[in-house]
Structure 1
Amino acid sequence: MTTERSPWAALGALCVGYFMILLDMTIVAVANPAIMNSLHTDMSKVIWVTSAYLLTFAVPLLVTGRLGDRYGPKYLYLGGLSIFTLASLWCGLAGGIGTLIAA
C-alpha cells in the first residue's frame, strides 16, 4: 500500500524559507543606519555585516546540493532552517559590531 504525498507541503515550506531569506536581506539592508547608531560604529564596519551575510548565504550553495543528495533534502532544509534561526538569534543578541559580523 503506497501513499502519495502532496507536493504542496514541500512547496509551502520552500516558499516560507525563501520569504525568510528575502525578509532577512531586506532587514539587513534597511537597518544599516540603525545598526550604525546603536552600535556606535562607522559605515565601513556596517558594510561588513551585509558582506558577511551574503558570503554565508552564497558560499555553501555548491556544497549543499551534494549534501541534499546524500542526506535528503528534508533533513538538509530543516538543518539549514535551524542554523538560520540560531544565527538570527545570535545577531539579535549581539552587543557589538564584531559580534554582529561574526553572527
Structure 2
Amino acid sequence: MIEKSLSAIPVVQVAAGGEQSFALSVSGGVFSWGRNDCGQLGLGDTQGTTMKHVPSLSAIPLIQVAAGGDQSFALSVSGGVFSWGSNDFGQLGKKTTTRKIITP
C-alpha cells in the first residue's frame, strides 16, 4: 500500500526511525507514516497513520529528513533544524524536556 503511494511521488530521500518513516519529495514535501504516540510523524496529533503529507513543513525548503527512536528532524536549505516528537531526556535539542510537535 505505501509502496504504491510512493511510486507516484518523485522521492529524493527516505528515513526510518524506531517505528516511523519519512519520504522527502523532489519538490521538498515531507510524507510520514507509522507509529505516532509521541507526535514523531509531525502531523499535530498522536495517531498512527498510513502515509500522509506533513503540512506544517510545506513552506520550508528542506534538503533532508531524519528519524530517531521517537523523535524526528528536518534540515532546511538555509541550515535550520526542525525537531519534533519525544523529548523526555532533551533529545530534540531544546532547553526543555517537553514534547514538541514541530519547532525551529
TM score, norm. by length of structure 1: 0.28
Between the two structures, name the one with larger relative contact order (CA 8 Å, sep ≥ 6): 1
TM score, norm. by length of structure 2: 0.28
Which has more strand, going by share of residues? 2
| Bigger Rg, structure 1 or 2 | 1
